């Protein structure tokens, strides 16, 4: 008898804990079970590798977005930023082929260029938001349009393609594996760990949370609010740059359709992961799971013909809402009262 | 607002009177209006329109072609009004952004007595245009399916990657399926890849994980095909006679067909250069001694290594 009560308390505590923190993990697990039951090839090594590699783009960007959102901001420009960085990277590398050849030096030049552009674009977003005193939504809506039209302009409306020989040098960055995991996945892992440490183990992370929960109080507590907020956008820009560095070698091209809606996917990944949209609470681990969930939904929909193609968006929308509902609804409290 | 409108109407009437006066001095002005190029196909169209302008103006010194592109349907409607009032056009070549919002503006141009040529997308009211030039979407599907049938035998498996869910995509897909039916070729599944390289890559990766035996891919579009080829190469399944059929006529694709690529051996034409055809026909309405009014539906030509050179424009962005 005593044992069962103990079991029940433990159980309810488990449930309480589970849904708040483990919600995204459970949602991902359920998705995987559904995927496997539809087709056992879902869990094949090839598919898992594809899934992880594909998640890397949105995942890396979403890690950056976690900082911005935790500090009470929003960045809508990331998809367009990725496109314009990819475009400029390709132009720079193509032009460098004559002087630097088609070797590693040119690729490194492109990557360096990407990082500088990412940091710069992030700083512009941050500066306009803090010093310019314009709402982040408006600033990044503006830069979203600017970046998107710039890539269209650079590509003359068409597609920018990387020099064919250079593609051979750069290609392994996306396609090669290192200890069984593709390089993009390694980058994703490193960015995630760095992000987790920065958010949870440093003063900077605590400042982000403090600013997000109450900016005025943070200011009175002598936190340099403007500087910290600008830094979150710079981190976001850096993450976009890293994602672009592993995106370009995949197809070696950039066009106006590159990175369309990535901003919304990144924000969705962050929120599914348990970060609060209005700021003040952020979870890197959840963000990573959120990115994986989003990619898995798309993957599963490609694995079945039971659902009409036209309803793909419906399924994605439903799963996003359910995943967030699982962790927000008062599951834990109700069961503990009973 | 009403005052503005009536003022505009007065100005427009004035312009019309002027235009009849101007046409007396034998200069033929033709307005060409189309959406601002925001994707590769449209950029190709823009390029071909500029080429045709240079060529036709060199050929006929008394012909003046005015090219205008607009970023949205509203802007296009205004641009067309300007072509009438400012340029006093004798003919209008228009690729409408959307059928509904541009039907009335084009009808107003028609009322000034100008010749109307509509390209690719029809207007929502019949009988406005004198000349209609368009590609053939059902034919694109049918020609692709016919090629599949020459290369595959009964029991072979194909997968289909579709475009953005639209009427165009449905026309292509339905015609393809109708032609494949009864051939014994299995269409394993079809998914939307939105005429986009990244989506083409991801959808094809998933098809490859899901189906161990695929003999050919109908990608419908050259951009999707590029993603498909990358996925095939990644999975190492690009050999054994596997092939991909795209569509549209992108220059890189045509170049690789010329070079004898086995993975993309053919392409099916849906040319952005149709705007040039429309401009040619419109100029001919003033220059030719033969009648030109009517409907011109371009063939969905199968591009093979033999005829590829005819469709290769290395300077075009598409």
pLDDT in tens, A181-231: 999 999 999 999 999 999 999 999 999 999 999 999 999 999 999 999 999
A52-337: what fold? Answer: ABC transporter involved in vitamin B12 uptake, BtuC (1.10.3470)
| Average pLDDT, integer, range B208-227 | 94
List the domains of chain B with CATH numbers.
2-135+272-287 (3.40.50.2300), 137-268 (3.40.50.2300)
Q: Are strands B267-268 and B157-162 parallel, antiparallel or unpaired?
A: unpaired
- The answer to whether B243 touches B151, Cβ cutoff 8 Å, is yes
pLDDT band, residue B24 (cuts 50/70/90): very low
Of A125, A231, A238, A151, the residue nearest A187 (C-alpha):
A238
The bridge status of strand B115-119 relative to strand B186-192 is: unpaired
Q: Is the pLDDT of residue A310 over 90?
A: no
CB-based contact A157 B190, cutoff 8 Å? no
Mean pLDDT calculated for residue range A68-82 = 96
pLDDT of residue B17: 44
For residue B55, with 0-12 CB atoms within 10 Å meaning exposed, 13-18 middle and 19 or more buried, which class applies? middle
Residues from chain A that touch B227, judged by Cβ atoms under 8 A, are 251
First to last CA, chain A: 18
Task: Looking at the complex, report in whole angstroms how far the Cα of residue A46 sits from the nearest Cα belonging to chain B.
Answer: 7
Interhelix angle for A136-154 vs A104-130, to 10°? 150
Q: What is the mean pLDDT of residues A65-89?
A: 96
Please state, rounded to an integer, the average pLDDT across all residues of chain A: 89
Query: Could you tell me which residues are beta bridge partners of residue A99?
Result: none
pLDDT recorded at residue B315: 87
A45 — contact with chain B (CB < 8 Å)? no
Between positions 119 and 158 of A, the ones with CB within 8 A of B are 152, 155-158
Contact A309, B162 (CB under 8 A): yes
Tell me if residue B131 falls in helix, strand or coil.
Answer: strand
By C-alpha distance, the chain A residue nearest B316 is A158
Measured CA to CA, the distance from residue B159 to residue B207 in angstroms comes to 8
Supply the pLDDT for residue B203: 95
Q: Would you tell me how many other CB atoms lie within 10 Å of the CB of residue B62?
A: 12
Give the angle A192-A77-A229 at the CA atoms, nearest 5°: 65
Q: Give B175-207 pLDDT, tens digit per residue.
A: 999 999 999 999 999 999 988 899 999 999 999
pLDDT band at A323 (very low <50, low <70, confident <90, very high): confident
Is the pLDDT reported for residue A101 higher than 90? Answer: no
- Each residue of A251-292: pLDDT tens digit? 999 988 899 899 999 999 999 999 999 999 999 999 999 999
Q: Does residue A6 have a pLDDT over 70? A: no
The answer to whether the CB atoms of B39 and A42 lie below 8 A apart is no
Q: How far apart are CA B241 and CA A244, in angstroms?
A: 34
Q: Model confidence over A137-154: pLDDT tens digits?
A: 999 999 999 999 999 999
Give the per-residue pLDDT at A309: 81
Q: What is the pLDDT of residues A127-137, one digit of tens each?
A: 999 999 999 99
Any idea where the domains of chain A sit in the sequence? 52-337
Predicted pLDDT at A11: 53
Mean pLDDT of B136-146: 94
Interchain pair A54, B210: CB under 8 A: no
Question: Closest partner residue to A44 among B189, B209, B234, by Cβ?
Answer: B209
CA angle A127, A129, A130 (to 5 degrees): 70
Residue A330 DSSP code = S
Q: Residue B43 and residue A157: Cβ atoms within 8 Å?
A: yes
For residues A102-119, give the mean pLDDT: 95
- B206 vs A253, A255, A299: nearest CB: A299
Rounded to 5 degrees, φ, ψ at B263 are -75, -40
In this predicted structure, the answer to whether residue B263 has a pLDDT above a threshold of 50 is yes
B252/A161 CB distance under 8 A = yes
Gap between the Cα atoms of A115 and A85, Å rounded = 9
Q: Quick one: pLDDT at residue B131?
A: 94
Q: For residue A328, give how far its alpha carbon lies from the nearest alpha carbon of chain B (Å).
A: 32
């Amino acid at each position: 008898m005593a044992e069962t009560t103990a079991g029940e308390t433990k159980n309810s505590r488990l449930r309480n804990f589970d849904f708040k923190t483990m919600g995204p993990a459970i949602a991902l697990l359920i998705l995987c079970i559904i995927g496997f039951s539809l087709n056992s090839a879902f869990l094949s090594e090839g598919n898992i590798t594809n899934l992880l590699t594909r998640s890397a783009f949105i995942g890396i960007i979403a890690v950056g977005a976690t900082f911005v959102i935790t500090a009470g901001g929003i960045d809508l420009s990331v998809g367009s930023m990725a496109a314009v960085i990819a475009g400029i990277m390709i132009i720079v590398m193509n032009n460098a082929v004559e002087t630097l050849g088609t070797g590693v030096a040119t690729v490194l030049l492109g990557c360096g260029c990407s990082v500088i552009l990412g940091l710069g674009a992030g700083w512009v977003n941050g500066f306009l938001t803090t010093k310019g005193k314009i709402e982040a939504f408006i600033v990044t809506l503006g830069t979203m349009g600017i970046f998107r039209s710039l890539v269209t302009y650079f590509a003359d409306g068409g597609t920018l393609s990387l020099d064919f020989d250079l593609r051979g040098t750069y290609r392994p960055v996306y396609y090669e594996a290192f200890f069984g995991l593709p390089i993009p996945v390694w980058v994703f892992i490193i960015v995630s760990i760095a992000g987790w440490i920065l958010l949870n183990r440093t003063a900077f992370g605590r400042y982000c949370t403090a600013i997000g929960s109450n900016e005025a109080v943070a200011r009175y507590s002598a936190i340099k609010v403007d500087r910290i907020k600008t830094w979150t956008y710079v981190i976001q820009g850096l993450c976009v740059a890293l994602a672009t560095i592993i995106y370009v070698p995949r197809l070696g091209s950039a066009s106006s359709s590159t990175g369309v809606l990535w901003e919304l996917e990144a924000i969705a990944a962050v929120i599914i992961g348990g970060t609060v949209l209005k700021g003040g609470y952020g979870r890197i681990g959840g963000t990573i799971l959120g990115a994986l969930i989003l990619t898995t939904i798309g993957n599963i929909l490609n694995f079945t013909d039971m659902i009409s193609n036209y309803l793909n968006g419906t399924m994605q929308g439903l799963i996003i809402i359910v995943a967030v509902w699982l962790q927000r609804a008062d599951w834990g409290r109700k069961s503990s009262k009973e | 607002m009403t005052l503005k409108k009536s003022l505009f109407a007065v100005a427009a009437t004035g312009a019309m009177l002027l235009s009849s006066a101007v046409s007396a001095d034998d200069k033929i002005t033709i307005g060409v209006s189309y959406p601002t190029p925001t994707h590769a196909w449209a950029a190709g169209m823009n390029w071909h329109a500029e080429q045709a302008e240079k060529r036709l103006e060199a050929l006929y010194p008394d012909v003046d072609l005015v090219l205008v592109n607009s970023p949205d349907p509203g802007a296009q409607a205004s641009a067309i009004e300007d072509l009438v009032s400012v340029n006093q056009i004798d003919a209008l070549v228009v690729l409408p952004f959307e059928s509904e919002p541009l039907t009335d503006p084009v009808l107003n141009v028609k009322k000034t007595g100008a010749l109307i040529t509509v390209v690719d997308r029809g207007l929502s009211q019949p009988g406005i245009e004198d000349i209609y030039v368009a590609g053939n979407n059902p034919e694109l599907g049918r020609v692709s399916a016919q090629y599949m049938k020459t290369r595959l035998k009964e029991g072979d498996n194909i997968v289909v990657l579709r475009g953005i869910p639209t009427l165009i995509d449905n026309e292509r897909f339905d015609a393809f399926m109708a032609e494949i039916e009864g051939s014994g070729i299995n269409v394993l599944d079809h998914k939307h890849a939105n005429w986009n390289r990244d989506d083409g890559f991801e959808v094809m990766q998933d098809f490859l994980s899901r189906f161990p035996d695929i003999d050919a891919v109908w990608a419908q579009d050259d951009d999707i095909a590029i993603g498909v080829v990358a996925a095939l190469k990644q999975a190492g399944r690009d050999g054994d006679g596997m092939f991909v059929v795209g569509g549209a006529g992108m220059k890189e694709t045509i170049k690789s067909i010329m070079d004898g690529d086995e993975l993309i051996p053919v392409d099916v034409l849906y040319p952005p250069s149709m705007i040039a055809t429309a401009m040619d026909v419109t100029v001919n309405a003033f220059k030719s001694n033969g009648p030109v009014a009517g409907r011109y539906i371009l063939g969905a030509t199968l591009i093979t290594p033999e005829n590829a050179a005819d469709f290769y424009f290395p300077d075009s962005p598409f």
